A and B are shown apart, each in its own frame.
Chain A
């Protein structure tokens, strides 16, 4: 196929955003999947240590949070996030990163207005709207149970 420069540029423009999205998605899939796989391995390890399934899930979350905090503190999580995008945002490690990263960044503004306030800059909305939706669900369940609707 023969093309002049203009046509070639247009072809590049048409093709590159899509391939960028595809590449991002592959990274997100592999990295996000790996965090979940790690979670599954941890759950099984805690279950093997005689914890109940519920406790094992909680402890696996705590372990993932700790791993994420360490990776964030040494700066590796941020570097991984540049490539993996949602793969590092969506797992619970991303939630932990959203807490730990501003806590470190705003340390210079003090322990109260810096660390403690900024810690919840992204995690805050998640907790607020998560809790609010659980309350709505709770009200529905309560009304259903009480009046048998």
Chain B
């Protein structure tokens, strides 16, 4: 049942992104920015927690989940450290995904030849 919800909710979020691509002139970078900021806002008002509760990865794997991670991180950090938490919370929480992407990008660049040049 969890799997079904993860698939359906995750798919539905992607459909929302697809509608933005097809029906507006927004570029991929803008769409990703809109989604990540929406993720922070939806988490701040408490909606996204509920979606994560029943959809699991369907709510955390889309880039909105990245915003959710940022918001949760800053919540915890401000509760724990007060003022400095405002600065550390977001980036600390999303460091895992960003660092993994960075490592993957570097390794791929070093060991792969660009197809467009051959």
Contact = CB atoms under 8 A, between A and B. Distances in A.
B partners with A = yes
Interface of A: 20-21, 24-25, 27-44, 57-58, 60-62, 64-66, 68-69, 72-73, 75, 85-87, 89-92, 94-96, 98-100, 103-108, 111, 114-116, 119, 121-123, 125-127, 129-131, 133-135, 137-142, 145
B interface, by DSSP: helix, strand, loop or mixed?
helix
Contacts of A94: 32, 63
Interface string B33-73: 10111011100100000000000111011111111001101
B60 A28 contact: no
A121 to B, nearest CB: 8
Contact of B104 (A41, A75, A96, A114): A96
Contacts of A123: 98, 101
A40 B1 CA distance: 11
Given A29-B11, A86-B31, A135-B90, A130 B36 contact: yes
B114 to A, nearest CB: 5
Contact of B61 (A85, A92, A131): A92
